[in-house]
Amino acid sequence: MAAYTSLNYMDFDSLLTDDELMVRQSVRDFVSKEVIPVLQECNRSETFPKQLIPRFAEMGLLGTNLHGYGCPGLNNVAYGLSTMELERGDSGIRSFCSVQGSLVMYPIHAYGSDQQKEKYLPRLAKGEMIGCFGLTEPDAGSNPGGMRTKAEKVKGGYKLNGNKMWITNGCISDIAVVWAKLDGEVRGFIIEKGTPGFTTSTMKGKFSLRVSVTSELHMKDCVVPEENMLPNAVGLKGPLSCLTQARYGIAWGVLGAANACYHQALDYAKERILFDGKPLAAYQLAQAKLAMMATEITKAQLLVLQLGRMKDKGTMKPHHVSMAKGNNCKIALDIAREARDMLGANGIIDEYPVIRHMMNLETVKTYEGTEDVHRLVVGQEITGIAAFR
């Protein structure tokens, strides 16, 4: 089988620098040789391939676009390209790296004390320490301001009580960046594994993101030392800014899954011979579906590339990310569904990656802001009217 190449219909590659192309190729080779071969079994057994964590670190995939403290410090386009290649393997693999970099390392990097940065960031970048991000609750998903987790000032620190749900990496984490209300104001806290009153439980039975560890976090009279509160994050701006970082990576990442499904459908259509000896690809309906896939991927590529250039210039805003995340997740899932249809019965077996990508994208389209919520963010920006309530 020929080496994988992503769709380049509008000469997308010519818009990338040599360094960006080199980063993409190195991650592409890594995913092809080391990640994809283990995914079928991991997906079947609902296990995360922890043996790959040191390799993620070696490849610079943990905190890719952060600077200092042992982080790679690459530009945001190179980071986006790396997430795209990771998600070509599996959304759960990209989620692991995305949470580590954007939701654990970023808040410490942006809002932590110098002591916190020195203590945690180098180890997180090396993969010696794993982190998770505790914001979502059973009754507070799209409305994080409705969180019920509370923090109370006590002697020597803060006592936390509450529960977090749908937490990626939770049960394999050494630290958790948890958000709680302190005197009515949202604050961030770093909870280390083994802290009394802090426990985790694994969420089982998922039909999606089976390669990813999804957990609940439980805090019952959990006392966090005073020095473990993020000093520079006050209010919802802190956790929402972290989500903006993660959503940026998702907008790129899902194009990897879309590319994988498109190429699988194209290869299958060329090889699948029908009644009159012609391949499926020779029929109008098949070509129309493939043309739709190629068109939507190309449009989405150009959207995230501009987003990345804006991020590097410092002009990107959260509503720009909402447009890209909402659009690209939608088209990726649409493409996965069309590819599944084109493969017929073969589309539902894991000999082919399409059904795994399709199921994963059902989650990715929902988490870190549903498509409807992102539409409302864009709607507020273009009308000046908030329609969330």
Residue-range domain boundaries for the chain: 12-125, 131-234, 238-383
- Under DSSP, is residue 168 helix (H, G, I), strand (E, B) or coil? strand
What is the pLDDT, as a whole number, of residue 376?
A: 93
pLDDT interval class at 1 (50, 70, 90)? low
pLDDT interval class at 275 (50, 70, 90): confident
- Measured between alpha carbons, how far is 259 from 356 in angstroms, rounded to an integer? 14
**Catalytically annotated residues:** 368
Tokens representing 59 are: 């490849």
The two beta strands, 214-225 and 157-168, are antiparallel
**What are the tokens at 335?**
């493409």
Topology annotation, domain 238-383? Butyryl-CoA Dehydrogenase, subunit A; domain 3 (1.20.140)
Query: Which pLDDT belongs to residue 146?
Result: 82
Mean pLDDT across 258-278:
96
Of 325, 334, 303, whose CA–CA distance to 371 is shortest? 325
Mean pLDDT of the 125-141 span:
91
The average confidence (pLDDT) of the chain is 96
- Are the CB atoms for 303 and 275 separated by under 8 Å? no
Phi-psi region of 223 (alpha: psi -120 to 50; beta: other; left: phi over 0): beta
> What's the pLDDT score for residue 130?
98
Cα distance between the two ends of the chain? 52
The predicted-structure confidence for 175-229, as pLDDT tens digits, reads as follows 999 999 999 999 999 999 999 999 999 999 999 999 999 999 999 999 999 999 9
Range 12-125 classified under CATH 3.30.540.10:
no
Beta strand spans in the chain (E): 131-134, 150-154, 157-168, 175-182, 185-192, 198-202, 214-225, 229-234
Identify the helix (H) or strand (E) that includes residue 187: strand 185-192
The CATH T-level fold of domain 131-234 is Butyryl-CoA Dehydrogenase, subunit A; domain 2 (2.40.110)
Predicted local distance difference test score (pLDDT) of residue 139: 80
Rounded-to-integer distance, Cα 248 and Cα 257, Å? 16
